[in-house]
């Protein structure tokens, strides 16, 4: 009996032992399955991540393409608009160029309309504000030297402001006056190749800009084109380290042109001409 009991005990112990091993095996199998599941999950995650990053890179590419497209259609360019003169001229002197011993008044008072009695400073500002709106509409970034009459900024300071802002181009707005009341039409002033204060590359670009504005202004306004005038004695040019041009919009000493210059419709034509000139310039450079 004792022997039978002992045999039974040994047998049952053996059975338990086998089951445990099985259990372990099964559990090992479970672990393997779990591991395998985890691997698949990780793979899926990696795949998702990859596809997300692919999407991101596609997005980046699209953004880059857009930026390039914008640049080619004139956005991202920074323009300085300098409405010539101010409410009161400033006759104290400043050097006409960096390091120059020749001095000129900081800002002259400008001319005035024989018919409208409007000051040139006011007319320049009216057109400058319209030009600002148009350039912003076309996607340009704009730096205004002044937006009011009551400022005191010298011509050298105006150029330095544009230099510091690293603008792509400066447009200076002025109007003419003459003792001859019959004189009429517009002209564009540009620096000469022999300008001793300005960088050669900036001179070349200023002249390209001037040519573009001259052409576009003429076709937008149908005004008499008095052409391009080369000047090396202008403080606002000589201090400039960026491409610069100056528009003499017309003669305020000519009664009919003076009246015309103050009309909304003609101001809008001039603005279109200058903006088109800038567009064309940036297509070239
Ligand atoms: Zn002027």
Using alpha carbons, list the distances in angstroms from residue 132 to 53, 83, 121: 41, 11, 16
54 within some domain:
no
For residue 138, give the nearest of 216, 210, 205 by alpha carbon.
Answer: 216
176's CB contacts (< 8 A; 6+ apart) are: 111, 183, 187, 248, 249, 250, 251, 252, 253
CA of 128 to the centre of ligand 1 (A): 13
The single residue listed with the structure tokens 């070349």 is 204
CATH code assigned at 279: 3.40.630.40
Nearest Cα to Cα of residue 167 among 215, 135, 191, 197: 135
- Residue 21 in domain: no
Res 46: pLDDT: 40
Q: Determine the Cα–Cα distance for residues 100 and 253; give it in Å rounded to an integer.
A: 33
Q: Please report, to the nearest 10 degrees, the dihedral formed by the alpha carbons of residues 257, 263, 269, 275 taken in order.
A: 100
Q: pLDDT (tens digit, 0 to 9) for every residue of the chain, 285 residues total?
A: 455 444 444 444 444 443 433 333 333 333 333 444 444 444 444 444 444 444 444 444 444 444 444 445 666 899 999 999 999 999 999 999 999 999 999 999 999 999 999 999 999 999 999 999 999 999 999 999 999 999 999 999 999 999 999 999 999 999 999 999 999 999 999 999 999 999 999 999 999 999 999 999 999 999 999 999 999 999 999 999 999 999 999 999 999 999 999 999 999 999 999 999 999 999 999
C-alpha of residue 69 to centroid of ligand 1, in Å: 37
**In angstroms, what is the span from residue 92 Cα to ligand 1's centroid?**
17
How many angstroms separate the alpha carbon of residue 56 from the centre of ligand 1? 53
Kindly state whether residue 31 falls inside one of the protein's structural domains.
no
In a domain, 11, yes or no: no
Residue 1 lies in a domain: no
Question: Number of folded domains in the chain?
Answer: 1
Ligand 1 center from residue 245 Cα (angstroms): 13
How many whole angstroms from 186 Cα to the centroid of ligand 1? 13
With respect to residue 17, please indicate whether it lies within any of the assigned structural domains.
no
Distance 188 CA to ligand 1 centre (A): 12
Residue 222 CA to ligand 1 center (angstroms) comes to: 22
- The secondary structure of residue 112, as a DSSP letter, is B
Distance 176 CA to ligand 1 centre (A): 6
* Ion ligand 1 residue ranges (Cβ < 5 Å): 84, 110, 174
- Does residue 158 lie within any of the structural domains? yes
In this prediction the pTM is 0.75
Assigned domain for 129 exists: yes
Q: Domain containing 239: what range?
A: 78-284
């Amino acid at each position: 009996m004792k022997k039978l009991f002992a045999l039974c005990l040994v047998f049952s112990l053996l059975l338990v032992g086998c089951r445990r091993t099985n259990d372990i095996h099964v559990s090992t199998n479970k672990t393997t399955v779990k591991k395998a599941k985890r691997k698949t999950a990780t793979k899926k995650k990696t795949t998702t991540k990859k596809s997300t990053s692919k999407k991101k890179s596609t997005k980046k590419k699209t953004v880059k393409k857009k930026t390039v497209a914008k640049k080619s259609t004139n956005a991202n360019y920074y323009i300085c608009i300098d409405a010539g003169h101010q409410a009161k001229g400033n006759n104290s002197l400043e050097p006409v160029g960096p390091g120059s011993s020749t001095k000129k008044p900081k800002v002259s008072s400008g001319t005035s309309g024989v018919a409208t009695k409007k000051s040139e400073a006011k007319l320049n500002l009216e057109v400058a504000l319209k030009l600002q709106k148009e350039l912003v509409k076309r996607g340009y970034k704009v730096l205004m030297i002044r937006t009011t009459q009551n400022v005191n900024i010298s011509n050298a300071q105006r150029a330095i402001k544009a230099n510091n802002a690293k603008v792509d181009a400066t447009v200076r707005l002025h109007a003419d006056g003459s003792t001859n009341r019959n004189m009429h039409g517009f002209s564009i002033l540009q620096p000469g190749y022999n300008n001793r204060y300005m960088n050669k590359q900036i001179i070349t670009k200023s002249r390209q800009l001037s040519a573009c504005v001259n052409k576009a202004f003429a076709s937008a306004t149908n005004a008499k084109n008095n052409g391009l005038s080369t000047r090396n004695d202008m403080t606002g040019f000589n201090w400039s380290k960026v491409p610069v041009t100056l528009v003499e919009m017309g003669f305020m000493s000519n009664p009919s042109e003076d009246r015309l210059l103050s009309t909304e419709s003609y101001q809008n034509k001039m603005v279109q001409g200058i903006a088109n000139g800038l567009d064309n310039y940036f297509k070239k450079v």
